[in-house]
Amino acid sequence: MDRGRLRVYLGAAPGVGKTYAMLDEGHRRLERGTDLVVGYVETHGRPKTERGVEGLEVVPRRRIDYRGTIQEEMDLAAILERRPEVVLVDELAHTNVPGSTHEKRWQDVEALLDAGIEVITTVNIQHLESLNDVTESITGVRQRETVPDQVVRAADQIELVDMSPQALRRRMAHGNIYTAEKIDAALSRYFREGNLTALRELALLWLADRVDEGLERYRDEHEIESTWATRERIVVPVSGGPESSTLMRRAARIATRRSGGEWQALYVTRQDGLTGISPDQLTRLAAKAEELGGTFHTVVGDDAAEAILSFARAENATQVVIGASRRGRISTLLRPGVGERVVTGSGDIDVHIVTHDYARRSSLRPAVDNLGPRRRLAGLVFGVVVPGVLSGLLYLTADLHGLPIEAMSLMVVVVATALIGGLAPAIVAAIVSALMLNYLFTPPLYTLTIAEPENVVTISIFVAVGIAVATVVDNAARRTAQAMSARAEADALTVLAHSLLTSADDTAGLLSSACRLFNATGAAVVRREPSGAETVVASCGTPPASVERADMSAAIDDHSTLVLAGATLPASERGLLNAYAAYAKVMAERRAATVAEVERLRLTEVDRTRTALLAAVSHDLRNPLAAAKVAVASLRNGEVDWSPQDEAELLQTIEESTDRLTALVANLLDMSRINTGSVSVALAEVDLGEAVRASLAPLAGSERIEVATPADVLVLADAGLLDRVLANICENALKYTPESAQVRIDATVAGDRAILRVADTGPGVTDHDQARLFAPFQRLGDVPQQDGVGLGLAVARGFTEAMGGTITTEETPGGGLTFVLELPALPHPTAAPASDLSEAR
């Protein structure tokens, strides 16, 4: 089944006539015999709109009971069952009443389209999701009902229903939009002329962009490469040089001369990546383009002129703004520059050559010398000595060869000199070889004069070819060195990127890596305090004493600097050092984020504890206080003659309430001690069996606890803290164990640990709940609110860990939960020998 078509009537504001235009289109379709129905139309009580619905089949609305009132919505199911060819649906951004098939009306429309039904709908520009903030800043009203932009963009046809702000205000004043009591407020607020003008412009620009997208699709489908000047689009190539800002400002001025004009800055980088500007310069260019209202783009291409023209044609650009060449006139005559080639190949694109202060000034920096002074000197010696030696050998064997062999042999020396010492020694070798060739092998011999014109040409060609070959060889050698350097830098950056993704926060490791890579004797991260003093945050090796004394440095941020000692880099290779600085900055930001997250979690826990504590104070402490107060007031009431039984019950209530208060306050104080780390522990030898029995004695329901602990298990613990731990665990077990069931306690010794198990047969806990079982203020399962504040197990764990033990949980076989308490065990005293006992008697 084919998907239905979507037609949207777009308006800048309510009242422009979207619904009326939709109904008018419905009548036209109906007259042509189209099966059309009205799915939903909101007339807002406007007479013309109501008359527009007349004569059209209307699908009855669905009535939904929502919070005691009957709401009407579009009946999607009825329309799908009716299956018309076309359906009219008003207010695309409308939010449906809860209980509807979909949350939003545009989702209903999507369902109709999926069913193959054509939909005609309406929407205002302020309801588009991407423009919601913009329209709010214009009108001061935030639209809560929005529709995703892609829904409207996907429409097969979008028609703007336009009206001037003045005409719309007149329509409002005549009562054609709102009722009389709303007109004055609307005209003075939302329907101000400035608001309507801005919304109208917003709608026109949004629709123009959609038209532009359609035009680009049409050009691509029909493979149209020529420029269609539907609007001014300007491309300004930049090189990163000082004139780049001038060119971008000029392009911005040209673009603003016509409404809707736009401009784009373009940087072309070579495919080999060996030459180009630094990432920092690219960032500055992009920021400048954005500041001036343009966009920044980067393309890859070895032929800059061809890359510029290809980009301009792809963007349907009408103009190219390019700077005047910084090359000299002679260089331009010998080899046309980028600007000249752009003009030649521009075709129907206008090209502006903009002069600037740096025109005809070469921007070429001296080539990076990858050869040391020793190699240059060796090449120079080789280029002077070897041609003479080789010429002597060729002279001694002159009968075996002619001038071509002699010339080619000396040419090999020139190439070898270029490989050893670079271009300058090779030029010297070419001149020396030409002189030797003239002196020893060109008649008349042993003079620098040349008799035959042919030999003059030969020697001249020899010198020219020698210099040209030397230049090529020297360039190839330099490019090879640059490529090797770039590969090493890329490998180092790869290691850095991998470390950034996988490694921990290891500043010392980063500094060690920098020392190894740059062959430095020391490195450090130095932070400058507000007072001006410098502090070393991290270091390795023998770092420089300050930033000023560093051999190399790179800024990490406004206050920190990466410094190295014992190493230097040329300016062209400082990008890798900047990458290390950037990595150090990321590590610092990661540390700051970790600290902030820890602090956030701490504050969250403090806030949760405070909230729980307030809840405990407001409920768990208030209830026993209220019960005790009522009992005391009843006993003091002289007007009532209480029987001895009644008095006993009231006294028991007072006692139970005070016991609960005592237990609650004790747990709160204990938790406070644990959180502040002020638990005082006095470890001593404790008989575990006696400790268990002592803790159970005052515990209500202790008769339901079965104790099976050996009598000779000794542990290293604090007797008072252990009593609290055992009481809290047993009280929790009794709370969750049915009245008819038993709680079992047993103990064993495993090596140097004593293990006590308290097993209940209650409902147990899930794996998820076990993770928060010992957290403060936790009540798991169906526990009455008056049964404590959820601190018993948290206090038990805190005291156990303070004594050097652990407390965990495991599932009780057959159902329930078992608490496992482990404490350091002590060896039992060995019984005295019998002979000693008899002597003692």
pLDDT digits (tens, 9 = 90+) for 386-414: 988 888 888 888 888 887 888 888 888 88
Burial class of residue 548, CB neighbours in 10 A (0-12, 13-18, 19+):
exposed
Question: What is the reported pLDDT for 62?
Answer: 92
Mean pLDDT over the full length of the chain: 80
Average pLDDT in the 66-72 region?
Answer: 84
- Which carries the bigger pLDDT value, residue 553 or residue 279? 553
- Which carries the bigger pLDDT value, residue 458 or residue 565? 565
Task: Tell me the β-bridge partners of 296.
Answer: 265
For residue 371 the two structure tokens come to 């050869």
Average pLDDT in the 539-568 region?
Answer: 84
Query: Does the pLDDT of residue 186 top 80, yes or no?
Result: no
DSSP run (H or E) holding 404: helix 403-421
Question: What is the reported pLDDT for 504?
Answer: 56
Query: Does the pLDDT of residue 745 top 60, yes or no?
Result: yes
Tens digit of each residue's pLDDT (9 = 90 or more) over 275-311 = 567 677 788 888 888 888 888 888 877 788 888 988 8
Query: Does the pLDDT of residue 602 top 60, yes or no?
Result: yes
In the block, tokens 């090596």 appear at: 751
Question: What is the reported pLDDT for 28?
Answer: 93
Question: What is the reported pLDDT for 547?
Answer: 83
Residues 244, 289: Cα–Cα separation, whole Å = 10
In the block, tokens 């240059």 appear at: 376
787 DSSP assignment: S
Average pLDDT in the 525-533 region?
Answer: 84
Answer whether 807's CB lies under 8 Å from 684's CB: no
**Segment of 52-61, 572-581, 728-737 carrying the highest mean pLDDT:** 52-61
Residues 659, 650: Cα–Cα separation, whole Å = 14
Question: What is the reported pLDDT for 270?
Answer: 73
For residue 639 the two structure tokens come to 């007007």
Give the CA radius of gyration of the chain.
Answer: 45
85: confidence class by pLDDT, cuts 50, 70, 90:
very high
Percent of the chain scored above 70 by pLDDT? 80
Residues 513, 41: Cα–Cα separation, whole Å = 70
Task: Tell me the β-bridge partners of 535.
Answer: 527
Angle in degrees, 0-180, between the axes of helices 193-221 and 165-173, rounded to the nearest 10: 130
Answer whether 78's CB lies under 8 Å from 87's CB: no
Question: What is the reported pLDDT for 88?
Answer: 95
DSSP run (H or E) holding 264: strand 262-269
In the block, tokens 């042993």 appear at: 446
Residues 532, 441: Cα–Cα separation, whole Å = 74
Residues 405, 394: Cα–Cα separation, whole Å = 9
Encoded amino acid at 611, one letter: T
Query: Does the pLDDT of residue 834 top 50, yes or no?
Result: no
Question: What is the reported pLDDT for 84?
Answer: 94
Question: What is the reported pLDDT for 841?
Answer: 28
Closest alpha carbon to 133 in 143, 123, 124: 143
Question: What is the reported pLDDT for 368?
Answer: 44
- Which carries the bigger pLDDT value, residue 219 or residue 344? 344
- Which carries the bigger pLDDT value, residue 8 or residue 476? 8
Per DSSP, which regions of 22-136 are E strands? Answer: 36-40, 57-58, 62-66, 69-73, 86-89, 118-124
Task: Tell me the β-bridge partners of 368.
Answer: none
Question: What is the reported pLDDT for 498?
Answer: 60
Average pLDDT in the 58-74 region?
Answer: 88
Contacts of residue 121, Cβ cutoff 8 Å, sequence gap at least 6? 6, 7, 8, 9, 22, 88, 89, 90, 91, 92, 109
Per DSSP, which regions of 129-242 are E strands? Answer: 157-161, 233-237
List, as own/partner pairs, every contact residues 630-636 make where C-beta atoms lie below 8 angstroms and the sequence separation is at least 24, other chains included.
Answer: 631/657
DSSP run (H or E) holding 541: strand 534-541
767: confidence class by pLDDT, cuts 50, 70, 90:
low
Residues 357, 243: Cα–Cα separation, whole Å = 7
Average pLDDT in the 714-728 region?
Answer: 87
Q: Angle CA(249)–CA(252)–CA(255) in degrees, nearest 5?
A: 155
505: confidence class by pLDDT, cuts 50, 70, 90:
low
Question: What is the reported pLDDT for 839?
Answer: 34
Question: What is the reported pLDDT for 459?
Answer: 72
Average pLDDT in the 649-655 region?
Answer: 85
Answer whether 301's CB lies under 8 Å from 267's CB: no
The phi, psi pair for 160, rounded to 5°, reads -85, 125
- Which carries the bigger pLDDT value, residue 272 or residue 314? 314
Closest alpha carbon to 675 in 781, 795, 528: 795
Q: Beta strand pairing status for 560-565 and 684-687?
A: unpaired
Question: What is the reported pLDDT for 542?
Answer: 87
Count, residues in the chain: 841
For residue 378 the two structure tokens come to 């060796």
Query: Does the pLDDT of residue 59 top 90, yes or no?
Result: yes
Question: What is the reported pLDDT for 499?
Answer: 57
For residue 542 the two structure tokens come to 């023998």
Helices and strands (H and E) in the chain: how many: 27, 24
Question: What is the reported pLDDT for 676?
Answer: 61
Residues 783, 762: Cα–Cα separation, whole Å = 12
Encode burial over 64-73: b for 16+ CB neighbours within 10 A, e otherwise.
Answer: eeeeeeebeb
Question: What is the reported pLDDT for 783?
Answer: 46
In the block, tokens 């000779």 appear at: 712
Burial class of residue 662, CB neighbours in 10 A (0-12, 13-18, 19+):
exposed
31: confidence class by pLDDT, cuts 50, 70, 90:
very high
Question: What is the reported pLDDT for 260?
Answer: 63
Residues 626, 634: Cα–Cα separation, whole Å = 12
Contacts of residue 334, Cβ cutoff 8 Å, sequence gap at least 6? none
In the block, tokens 């990127």 appear at: 497
Contacts of residue 441, Cβ cutoff 8 Å, sequence gap at least 6? 391, 394, 395, 398, 403, 406
| Torsion sign across C-alpha atoms 105, 111, 115, 121 | positive
Query: Does the pLDDT of residue 800 top 60, yes or no?
Result: yes
Percent of the chain scored above 90 by pLDDT? 15
Residues 604, 547: Cα–Cα separation, whole Å = 41
Task: Tell me the β-bridge partners of 266.
Answer: 237, 297
Residues 58, 301: Cα–Cα separation, whole Å = 61
DSSP run (H or E) holding 508: helix 507-518
**Segment of 162-166, 400-404, 462-466, 566-570 carrying the highest mean pLDDT:** 162-166
Residues 470, 473: Cα–Cα separation, whole Å = 5
666: confidence class by pLDDT, cuts 50, 70, 90:
confident
Average pLDDT in the 70-74 region?
Answer: 90
Tens digit of each residue's pLDDT (9 = 90 or more) over 306-347 = 889 888 887 878 899 998 876 656 555 556 778 888 888 888
Question: What is the reported pLDDT for 235?
Answer: 92
468, HSE (Cβ side, Cα atoms, 13 Å)? 6
Question: Residue 444: is the preceding peptide bond cis (ω within 30°)?
Answer: yes
Contacts of residue 71, Cβ cutoff 8 Å, sequence gap at least 6? 63, 64, 65, 97
Query: Does the pLDDT of residue 83 top 90, yes or no?
Result: yes
